[in-house]
Structure formats: structure tokens, C-alpha cells
């Protein structure tokens, strides 16, 4: 499948590299306001093709997106010193208002895959600007947070993360909700699995895992200034699911008609992802505490979206 990537910075270029090395895309076109950067990134990724899957990697302008099945929106600006979150949102929303019409003019049937932060609010803004059905505007959301949750649980249980089933819902950010009540390994609740294998899970273990998931991005950014590899892999996974019509269940963000009584808000829940984007949503059973936390997360995101939409 042909994939366009608008924004050739750390996230966009790493996502393109991951798509090539995993075989998620047969053609990748990088578009950036800095054409020199897009060209350099395309050449660099193309030089990895002989070691990976056959693919064409190039740069171009918006017209070169024609025929793309998915376009990743990784464009945006970073937060300036002293700038509020709302001011950052307003600047990134204006960027989206400029690029989304150009993308859709070139490839009107594409799924838009939102990667710019804050991703949930940007997903809501992209849905409004594009006028597309909610399922065709998919934010990466908590796909990475879910991966981190499974990785840390796997390490604690002595298992590969692939044998752990657990999800993070709500905001991709501080108010995200780790669904401990549904976390399983070998068909058992993770606490039961841990007890049976002689490694009982304590409240301290749970707190450490929660902190490890919730604060991961802060620690990575403190050490290297940005995150890219994890989200790049997550975006490639979403592209593979869409291109292959996998109908895989992945936690990602779309604009929901209602979540926990909060109307019209974008956040992450488990979604069925296949050709055309999100085909369905699954609401997992929640404890009272988890439901209250999800409602708080939805309210935070709704307030942010309303504020920035009103300022545009």
C-alpha cells in the first residue's frame, strides 16, 4: 500500500523507516515544508530497503500523495518556553487547517492517521476540518501506552509482552487509564498468574508499572529530547492493519459520539482496525474507579478541544 507522511521530522521519518522495515508499506512519500529535509529523510530510509522489504521511498509535494491509502499527519510545532498548552494547540490546529485540504485534494479516499501531539485533541480537530467520517480519521492515541503497559507487565511476569493482554484507554497523556481489571496472562488475571508462578504482585509493583507507563515519555524526552521509535512502530502497526484489512483490535483514538456521558470527544478505546480505518469500537468492562477515571480523562480532553475550536 502507498502511504504518505506529512511531516518528515523525528516521528514522521521514524514511522516511514518502520513501515519499510516491517513491510507495512510498498511505497512511502514524504512531504514537508522543508523539501530538503524530506529529500534527505527519503534517501536515508531508501538506503535501508536492500536490508528489508521491497519498497519505493521518495519525497514530493502534496500532489505526489495521489493514490495513498493512508496519510500520516506528523506535522506540527513544539511547545515554546512560556507557551500554554492551548496556545500550542492553536498553532498546530492552524497547521492542520492548511495541510488537510491539500492532502484530501490529492487523495480524497485516504485514511488520515494523526500523530501530532496532543494527539487526541488533534484527532478531533482533524475530523472537524476534514469533514470525514470519524472512523477515517484515526489518532495513534494510546497504542504506545498499551505497548508500554504490556511490556512492563511482561517483564514483571517473566513473559514476552505478546503473551500479555492489557490496554490503556482515554487520553494519550497524564489522565490515561490503565485497565488493570482486564489485564490477563494465559487467560488468568495478571495477579493470579503472578501468584501461581511464585511471584505475587504487590501494590508497589502496580504503582511502579503505572508510573513507568504514565511517565515514560517524560523520561525519554528528558534524556534525548523527543520520542520516535515507539510511536514510529505503533504507526507502522496501524498502517499494516489498515492495508491488510486485518480487523485487528488496537487501542487508538477517534472522535466518539459519547464516552462516559461526555459527548463528542476523541480518545482511545479498543478499536477494530481494517480497510477504511476504524470499523468498530469495543467498550471493555470497567470497575467503578476505572469508569470514573475515564470520565475525568474525557472531560479534560473535551475542555481542551472546545477551547481550541472556539479560538479558530
Number of neighbouring beta carbons within 10 Å of residue 196:
12
* Three-state SS letters, 27-49: EEEEECCCHHHHHHHHHHHHCCH
- Eight-state DSSP code of residue 172: S
- Residues in a beta bridge with 170: 268
- Eight-state DSSP code of residue 170: B
Counting Cβ atoms within 10 Å, is residue 178 exposed (0-12), middle (13-18) or buried (19+)?
A: buried
Q: Which residues contact 187 (CB under 8 A, 6 or more apart)?
A: none
- Residues 280, 139: contact at Cβ < 8 Å? no
d(CA 309, CA 312): 5
Among 47, 165, 172, 226, the one annotated catalytic: 172
Number of neighbouring beta carbons within 10 Å of residue 245:
12
Per-state percent for the chain, helix, strand, coil, to nearest 5:
50, 20, 30
Q: Respond yes or no: is residue 172 known to be catalytic.
A: yes
List residues with catalytic annotation: 172
Amino acid at each position: 500500500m502507498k502511504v504518505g507522511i506529512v511531516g518528515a521530522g523525528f516521528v514522521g521519518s521514524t514511522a516511514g523507516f518502520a513501515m519499510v522495515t516491517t513491510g507495512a508499506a510498498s511505497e512511502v512519500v514524504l512531504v514537508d515544508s522543508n523539501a530538503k529535509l524530506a529529500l534527505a529523510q527519503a534517501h536515508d530510509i531508501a538506503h535501508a530497503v536492500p536490508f528489508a522489504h521491497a519498497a519505493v521511498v521518495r519525497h514530493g509535494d502534496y500532489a505526489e500523495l495521489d493514490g495513498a491509502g493512508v496519510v500520516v499527519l506528523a506535522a506540527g510545532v513544539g511547545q515554546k518556553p512560556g507557551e500554554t498548552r492551548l496556545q500550542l494547540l492553536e498553532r498546530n490546529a492552524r497547521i492542520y487547517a492548511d495541510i488537510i485540504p491539500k492532502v484530501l485534494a490529492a487523495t480524497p479516499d485516504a485514511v488520515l492517521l494523526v500523530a501530532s501531539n496532543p494527539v487526541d485533541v488533534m484527532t478531533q480537530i482533524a475530523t472537524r476540518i476534514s469533514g470525514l467520517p470519524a472512523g477515517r480519521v484515526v489518532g495513534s492515541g494510546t497504542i504506545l501506552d498499551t505497548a508500554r503497559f504490556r511490556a512492563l507487565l511482561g517483564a514483571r511476569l517473566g513473559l514476552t509482552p505478546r503473551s500479555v493482554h492489557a490496554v490503556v484507554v482515554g487520553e494519550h497523556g497524564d489522565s490515561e487509564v490503565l485497565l488493570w481489571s482486564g489485564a490477563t496472562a494465559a487467560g488468568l488475571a495478571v495477579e493470579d498468574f503472578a501468584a501461581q508462578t511464585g511471584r505475587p504482585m504487590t501494590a508497589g509493583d502496580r504503582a511502579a508499572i503505572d508510573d513507568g507507563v504514565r511517565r515514560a515519555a517524560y523520561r525519554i524526552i528528558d534524556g534525548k529530547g523527543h520520542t520516535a521509535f515507539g510511536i514510529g512502530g505503533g504507526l507502522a502497526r496501524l498502517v499494516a492493519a489498515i492495508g491488510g484489512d486485518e480487523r485487528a483490535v488496537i487501542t487508538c483514538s477517534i472522535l466518539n459520539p459519547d464516552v462516559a456521558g461526555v459527548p463528542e470527544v476523541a480518545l482511545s478505546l479498543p478499536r477494530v482496525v481494517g480497510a477504511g480505518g476504524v470499523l468498530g469500537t469495543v467498550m471493555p468492562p470497567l470497575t467503578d474507579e476505572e469508569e470514573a477515571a475515564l470520565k475525568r480523562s474525557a472531560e479534560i480532553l473535551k475542555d481542551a478541544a472546545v477551547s481550541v475550536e472556539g479560538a479558530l
